[in-house]
Amino acid sequence: MKTALKVVGALLGIALLCAGGLYAWASIRTTRMLTRIVDTHQVDFPIPFPLTEAEIAELASPDSARAVALARAIERGRHLVDSRYVCTECHGANFGGGVMIDDPAIGTALGPNITGGFGSRVWEYDTADWDRTIRHGVGPSGRPLVMPAEDFQLMSDQELSDVVAYVKSVPPVENEVPAVTLGPLGKVLLALGEILLAADVIPSHTAPHSVFPPASEATVEFGRHLSGVCTGCHRPDFSGGPIPGGDPSWPPAKNLTPHESALGSWSFDDFARSLREGTRPDGTGVLEPMAAIVRYTRNMSDTEVQAIWNCLQTVPAVPVE
Ligand code: HEC
Ligand code: HEC
């Protein structure tokens, strides 16, 4: 009896030591990962993008060109955020601060205040800083961020410029948001590579970005560009599966390929309804986190929904596992 207790005690001790060792290793490794410097290119583009010669020719007064350019950029930026780039999901509806993750085990990653008010993280941002943060997942200091910036890597200069013009146009909010802290599980998952940082996922930090997005037409090319915000969850080949780094309570992302076991049996109208109303052909509603995404995709234009559908029709069919 005594020996059995001793064995159990020894095993428990070893288990605790291993857990302690794993935690210590994970703490050191994640600190290194988050404090290293990631080199990125230094880009510049106008905010707002100027009007074209043809657009200026249509104005009643050419003197209003800058004001009109800004007003149009803000409108485009608002549409991009409200239909596609979901910044408000984590930074709050007024951009004054919000929540990405708040979990004692995984950690606390709050979306900071990005308005012009007290406590803002972007007061000293220049154009290169916006590029680094949004399209590379690297803060102005060169350190990697936990924001999933891989979803934004396909943004063209003009789209990023429009988003920044819009963010800069909102009323300032006073709110200072604490920095990201990782919980024990968050550290272990990050150290083991189960959670990946955007800076490590984005294939290049020096490749030039496209200046303009593809024309806003129902083409496969425009659809591919738009679906850059879907692949983080639905995978680059759209075959779906468990969401990397996602909340453990989330269901796997669905297979969106044209295989008969996936969207092959859906009509375009079924697809449009799923993005507009969050319902499937069988009448069931999509679950979180897709339900949250639908609050954005429902603002997509008909052309945008059609373009994504046309793109999905061209990807290789993969059977649902
Ligand atoms: C899924 C949640 C999420 C989304 C979506 C998101 N962010 Fe963030 N963002 C964060 C978090 C969390 C941080 C805190 C810093 C970090 O990542 O380490 C952050 C940081 C930032 C920062 C400040 C970085 C710094 O410390 O200097 C800016 C600027 C920013 N985000 C802008 C945006 C914009 C613009 C969008 C939309 C295009 C966006 N974010 C979408 C979660 C998000
Ligand atoms: C944050 C992760 C996430 C993002 C981003 C995302 N999805 Fe989803 N999506 C999911 C999950 C998870 C499901 C499964 C939900 C369920 O089981 O009800 C889903 C379900 C769907 C469905 C229903 C499919 C079916 O067979 O029921 C469609 C259609 C869809 N997504 C399209 C898209 C499109 C298009 C985009 C990009 C504009 C997108 N999703 C972006 C996570 C995401």
Give the pLDDT of residue 156. 98
The amino acid occupying position 291 is A
Q: Decide if pLDDT at 211 tops 70.
A: yes
Tokens of 43: 């880009």
What's the CA gap between 143 and 246, in Å, rounded?
22
Q: Which ligand has the minimum distance to the alpha carbon of residue 153? A: 1
Share of the chain above pLDDT 90, in %: 89
CA of 276 to the centre of ligand 2 (A): 12
Q: Decide if pLDDT at 245 tops 80.
A: no
CA of 288 to the centre of ligand 2 (A): 9
Domains, the chain: 53-201 (1.10.760.10), 220-313 (no CATH)
Closest by Cα among 177, 140, 135, 137 to 155: 135
Q: Decide if pLDDT at 1 tops 70.
A: no
What's the CA gap between 232 and 146, in Å, rounded?
14
- Say if ligand 2 is within 6 A of residue 86 CB: no
Q: How far is CA 108 from CA 83, 111, 147, in A?
A: 26, 10, 12
What is the arithmetic mean of pLDDT over 6-33? 90
What's the CA gap between 198 and 298, in Å, rounded?
26
Mean pLDDT taken over the chain: 95
Contact 205, 40 (CB under 8 A): yes
Residues written for the chain: 321
Residue 167 pLDDT level (bands cut at 50, 70, 90): very high
What's the CA gap between 195 and 34, in Å, rounded?
13
Q: Which ligand has the minimum distance to the alpha carbon of residue 263? A: 2
Residue 244 pLDDT level (bands cut at 50, 70, 90): confident
CA of 316 to the centre of ligand 2 (A): 18
Give the pLDDT of residue 4. 81
CA of 254 to the centre of ligand 2 (A): 6
**Pocket (CB within 6 angstroms of ligand 1):** 85-87, 89-91, 100, 109, 111-112, 114, 121-122, 133-134, 139-140, 145-148, 152, 163, 167, 180
Tens digit of pLDDT for each residue in 256-277?
A: 999 999 999 999 999 999 999 9
Give the pLDDT of residue 5. 82
Q: By alpha-carbon position, which residue is closest to atom 39 of ligand 1? A: 87
Out of 13-22, 129-138, 230-239, 272-281, which region has the weakest mean confidence (pLDDT)? 13-22
Out of 66-80, 91-105, 118-132, 241-255, which region has the weakest mean confidence (pLDDT)? 241-255
Neighbours of 22 (CB within 10 A): 15
**From 87, 237, 293, mutation site for ligand 2 pocket: most ligand atoms within 8 A of C-beta:** 293
Q: Which ligand has the minimum distance to the alpha carbon of residue 274? A: 2
Give the pLDDT of residue 237. 96
Tens digit of pLDDT for each residue in 180-201?
A: 999 999 999 999 998 899 999 9
CA of 182 to the centre of ligand 1 (A): 16
Q: Which ligand has the minimum distance to the alpha carbon of residue 149? A: 1
Assign 257 to helix, strand or coil: coil
Give the pLDDT of residue 194. 87
What is the arithmetic mean of pLDDT over 28-45? 97
What is the arithmetic mean of pLDDT over 120-125? 95
Give the pLDDT of residue 65. 95
**From 261, 290, 294, 318, mutation site for ligand 2 pocket: most ligand atoms within 8 A of C-beta:** 290
CA of 33 to the centre of ligand 2 (A): 30
